[in-house]
Structure formats: structure tokens, C-alpha cells
């Protein structure tokens, strides 16, 4: 079999041949055998630095990230029932989940004080930030009680435009619709919350 030339950005799995020691200096995610051949040791993307002739593999994590008690998660409201909402969790402890994890918020853990129905607090498609109360098999019980927890992004249920929080109201600048949610005080900061590493370098 002719050697396929590896290039930057190629997808590799453990054991794929990357080249020889004369070509590259092996870095993280690689190993070399006695014949000075370099192989991938992890699944990921090939990264070649031609100026230094270094090769490494940027690992693609397939390990599921499981929410644990007291973790802060970000997810999307999938279904709104009268007494509970179902959440697709896509970020746990600041780490993106490659496979979404299911969670639920029950009415008594949604907001301080009496809530008649969950429709008054959440709508499908809302992005929320929540705390994990407990983790049972395949499902995280979540709470949105507290000023930082709740909805951080939502769309107008009439026209689909993003709702903005101004003058203590959630308003659609497109159609003028006014809606109600259980808001996080970080409403609108979805990018910053989803990219905590970059929050120092934000431009306005």
C-alpha cells in the first residue's frame, strides 16, 4: 500500500501512520516505533507546524461529560409541560457535551415563590443556565432558583426574533411583543457564558 501523505487537518485514529522521524518531530497524541515511524495515539485532527516540523494530534474528545451535583449547566428547553420542562444539556462545567444530556426542571425548583404553570417561565427553544441538584440515571434534576440562573437567551414566540431585556421587560424589537420568563441576571450574555475562556478578550 503506498503511503498516503498526511497533511494538516487530516482526521486520524490511533495507529494511523503519520510519517517518519526524518520528516517530523512527534508531539502530543503521537508515538514512534523502533523504525522511527510516527503514529497517531489518539483520535483527532493532524496539526503540522511546518516552521518547526512538529506534528501533533488535536484530540477529539468522545468521552461523554456527565453533569454532577452542583455543576452549572447550559441547555436548551426542549419541552414545556405544566409542571416541568425538559432540557437538552449541551454544556457542563464550561465543557461542551458532544452528546446532549437530558435534564429536567420541576416547578418547585424553577423560581422562588408560587408558580402556576411552567409556560409562565420557559418556552421551547429558550437557552437556560441551571444548577444540577442531583443526577439520576440518564437525567439531571436541575434548579433555576437564584438570580444568576434561568433563561439567558429567548426568541419571540410570535415572530422568532431574539428578545431583548430592557426596562425590566423582555421585548421583541421586531414586532413589539412583550414576553415573560424566569430570567437570569446574565440574560443576553450567552456568548460570554458559553466561552468562559475568552471573556477577558471581549470587544464591544
Binding site for Zn ion (CB under 5 A): 156, 158-159, 161, 172, 174-175, 177
Question: Shortest approach of Zn ion to residue 161 CB, angstroms?
Answer: 5
Task: Give the Cβ contact number of residue 193 at 10 Å.
Answer: 20
Closer of 53 and 161 to Zn ion (Cβ): 161
Closer of 160 and 196 to Zn ion (Cβ): 160
Question: Shortest approach of Zn ion to residue 158 CB, angstroms?
Answer: 5
Closer of 65 and 172 to Zn ion (Cβ): 172
Closer of 32 and 171 to Zn ion (Cβ): 171
Question: Shortest approach of Zn ion to residue 163 CB, angstroms?
Answer: 8
Nearest to 97 by CA among 108, 89, 107: 89
Closer of 169 and 185 to Zn ion (Cβ): 169
Question: Shortest approach of Zn ion to residue 124 CB, angstroms?
Answer: 15
Question: Shortest approach of Zn ion to residue 172 CB, angstroms?
Answer: 3
- The 10 Å CB-count burial string (b at 16+, else e) for 43-54 is bbebbbeeeeee
Written as nine digits, the cell of 140 is 439531571
Nearest to 128 by CA among 114, 138, 140, 137: 140
Asked whether 111 and 171 are in contact (CB, 8 A), the reply is: no
> How open is the CA angle 156-162-168, to the nearest 5 degrees?
80
Amino acid at each position: 500500500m503506498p503511503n498516503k501523505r498526511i497533511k494538516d487537518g487530516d482526521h486520524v485514529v490511533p495507529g494511523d501512520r503519520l510519517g517518519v522521524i526524518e520528516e517530523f518531530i512527534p508531539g502530543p497524541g503521537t508515538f514512534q516505533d523502533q523504525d522511527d515511524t510516527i503514529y497517531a495515539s489518539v483520535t483527532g485532527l493532524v496539526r503540522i507546524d511546518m516552521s518547526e516540523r512538529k506534528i501533533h494530534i488535536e484530540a477529539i474528545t468522545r468521552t461523554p461529560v456527565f453533569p454532577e451535583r452542583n455543576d452549572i449547566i447550559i441547555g436548551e428547553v426542549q419541552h414545556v409541560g405544566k409542571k416541568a420542562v425538559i432540557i437538552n444539556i449541551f454544556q457542563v462545567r464550561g465543557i461542551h457535551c458532544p452528546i446532549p444530556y437530558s435534564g429536567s426542571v420541576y416547578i418547585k425548583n424553577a423560581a422562588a415563590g408560587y408558580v402556576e404553570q411552567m409556560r409562565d417561565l420557559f418556552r421551547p427553544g429558550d437557552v437556560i443556565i441551571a444548577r444540577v441538584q442531583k443526577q439520576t440515571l440518564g437525567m439531571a434534576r436541575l434548579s433555576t432558583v437564584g438570580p444568576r440562573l434561568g433563561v439567558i437567551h429567548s426568541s419571540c414566540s410570535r415572530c422568532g426574533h431574539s428578545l431583548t431585556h430592557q426596562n425590566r421587560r423582555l421585548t421583541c424589537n421586531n414586532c413589539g411583543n412583550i414576553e415573560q420568563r424566569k430570567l437570569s441576571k446574565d440574560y443576553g450574555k450567552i456568548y460570554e457564558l458559553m466561552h468562559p475562556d475568552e471573556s477577558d478578550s471581549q470587544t464591544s
